[in-house]
Amino acid sequence: MNTNPCVEIVFSAMEGDEMRAIELWMLKMIHDKACAEASNTAVVYDEDERISGVFLFGNHLGNMLHDSNTFEVNVNTLEANPSNITMSRLRALGVDVHRKDNVLYLYGNPLVEIVGRYI
C-alpha cells in the first residue's frame, strides 16, 4: 500500500495547497502527536503504540504510524462511508482515493462499487 510521510504532508499543506482549515488542523494534530477534537474530526495519539488514530463523525478513518511515517486506511470505514468528506480527509493525509463511474478506487485499485447516495 502506498503511504506518505506525515511531516511532508503537513509542511506541503501549509505551503499553499488548497485544503480546508479542518484538514490543516488535523495534519497539525497528527504532526504534534496530540489528542484533540474539532468539529466532526478527531485525532487520538496513543503513546504506547506510537500511532495517531483519525476519526470522522466517530468513525475510524485509519492510523498514522509514527515510527514508519505511514498512514494505514481503515478500508471497512471507507467502504461503509465513501462520502466526499471521508475522501477529502483521506486525500489530505496523502491517500490516493477517488470515485469514477460508481466505483471507489484506493491507490488506483478498484475497492467497491458505490451506491447512488454518495455520488
Please give the average per-residue pLDDT across 99-114, as a whole number.
85
pTM of the model: 0.79
Residue 47 CA from chain centroid, whole number: 20
How far apart are the C-alpha atoms of 108 and 37, rounded to whole Å? 31
Per DSSP, 115 falls in state P
Please determine, for residue 35, whether its predicted confidence score (pLDDT) is greater than 80. Answer: yes
Q: Which pLDDT band holds residue 16 (cuts at 50, 70, 90)?
A: very low
Residues 6+ apart with CB under 8 A from 17: none
Confidence of residue 105 (pLDDT cuts 50, 70, 90): very high
pLDDT at 64 over 60: yes
In this prediction, residue 113 has a pLDDT band, given cuts at 50, 70 and 90, of low
Highest mean pLDDT pick, 1-15, 17-31, 72-86: 72-86
Helix pair 21-31, 6-14: axis angle to 10 deg = 140
pLDDT value of residue 102: 84
Cite the beta strand spans of the chain per DSSP E.
36-38, 41-46, 51-56, 59-65, 70-73, 97-100, 103-106, 109-113
